[in-house]
Amino acid sequence: MDRGSKFHARVGCGAAPELRVENLSVRFADRGKSFTALDIHALEAAPGARLALTGPSGCGKSTLLYVLAGLIRPANGAVRWGGEDIFAMGESARDAWRRRNVGFVFQDFELLPELPALENVLVPATFARFSIGAELRARARSLLDQFGVPARAGPAGFLSRGERQRVALARALLFDPPVLLADEPTASLDAASGAIVIDALARRAREDGRTVIAATHDFALIERMGSRLALEHGRAAAPAEAAP
C-alpha cells in the first residue's frame, strides 16, 4: 500500500521511524523489593529493520517490547522513535502515538472470542478518531483475505489457533502502522501455521518497509529477521547482530 495514500493521511500513519534506545533501565518491585528488569545501554534499529529479541524466558524480551511501545515507563533512559522521546510525551499523546505507529501481535492472539473475525480486526478503529466506514471495512476484509481467513468467519473463539493468530495479525495491520511489535507470535502455533505468520511478518518488513521487532524463541522466525538481540537477565548478552 502506498504510504502517501489518502488512507495513510487519514489514519495518520507515516513512514517507519528510526529507533534509538539510550541508557534504558526498567525497575520492578516484587514483595517490597525493587529489582532491575531491564538494562539496555544502547539499541538502534534503522527504519524498516527486522529485529529478533531472543533469550530465555524471563530475560526481559516482552518487557523491552512494552517499553518500546510506551506501555512501561523506564526508570531511566530514553526511547526515541524518529528522534522523539516517547516518554517525554504525556500519556494521552503517547496513546495516540502508539495508535498511529504501532501494531501489536501477542502469543495468545488476545482476540475478543465472542466477536466475528472481521469485527476483531476492526477493534482498533473503535478507539481511533474516525468511524468504521466502508473503506476501513474493505481494508479489514482485504487483510483477512490476504491471510487466508474468510471475512465471513464466525466468532474468533471458534477459529483454529493459526487462524486466530492471522486475525490478530490483520488487526495489527489495520492502520498499516510503520512499526510492528510481536511477542512470541508463533509460540502457540504448529509449524505450518507458524510458517504462515513468519512469512507474513518478514514480508511486511521486507516489502512494505515496516520496522518489525519480535520477541521469540522460534529459530525459524529468528532466521527471517535481519538482526538479533540476545538478552540475558535483562541485559544485552551481546550487541545486536545480524541474524544467522
Partner 1 sequence: MNPWLVARAGMAAHRGAYSVFLLLIAVAAAIGVAVSAQEAALRRGSARAADRFDLIVAAPGSQTDVTLAAIYLRPGAVPLMSPADTARALAEPRVKFAAPLGYGDSHQGSPIIGSIAAFVEHLSGGLQSGRMFAAETEAVAGAAVNAALGASFHPAHGAADDDDDDDDAGNAGHHEHSVTLTITGRMKPTGTPWDNAIVIPIESVWRAHQLPTGHADGETRIGPPFAPEKVPGVPAIVMAPRSVSDAYGLRGQWRASSTMAFFPAEALTPIYSLMGGVRDAMTLFALAAQALVVTAILAGVIAILNLHRRQFAVLRALGAPRLYIFACVFTQIAILVIAGALAGLALGAGAAFVLSKIFAMRTGIALRLEIGEGELALVAGFALFGLLASIVPAMLAYRRPPVEALAGR
Which residue ranges make up the site for partner 1 (CB under 8 A)?
28, 62-63, 66, 69, 71-72, 91-92, 95-96, 98-100, 102, 104, 106, 110, 112-115, 119, 122-124, 126-129, 131-132, 171-172
Cβ-based nearer residue to partner 1, 19 or 37: 37
Q: How far is the CB of 14 from partner 1 (least distance, A)?
A: 15
Q: Quote the CA–CA distance of 156 and 177 in Å, as a whole number.
A: 23
The strand pair at 227-232 and 179-183 is best described as: unpaired
Q: How far is the CB of 183 from partner 1 (least distance, A)?
A: 9
Cβ-based nearer residue to partner 1, 90 or 244: 90
Q: How far is the CB of 115 from partner 1 (least distance, A)?
A: 5
Residue that the C-alpha cell 518489525 belongs to: 212
Cβ-based nearer residue to partner 1, 116 or 194: 116
Cβ-based nearer residue to partner 1, 49 or 68: 68
Residues 114, 151 contacting (CB under 8 angstroms): no
Q: How far is the CB of 85 from partner 1 (least distance, A)?
A: 19
Q: Quote the CA–CA distance of 239 and 4 in Å, as a whole number.
A: 35
- Cβ-Cβ contacts under 8 Å for 69 (sequence gap 6 or more): 98, 102, 104, 181
The cell numbers describing 34, all together, are 525493587
The cell numbers describing 69, all together, are 511501545
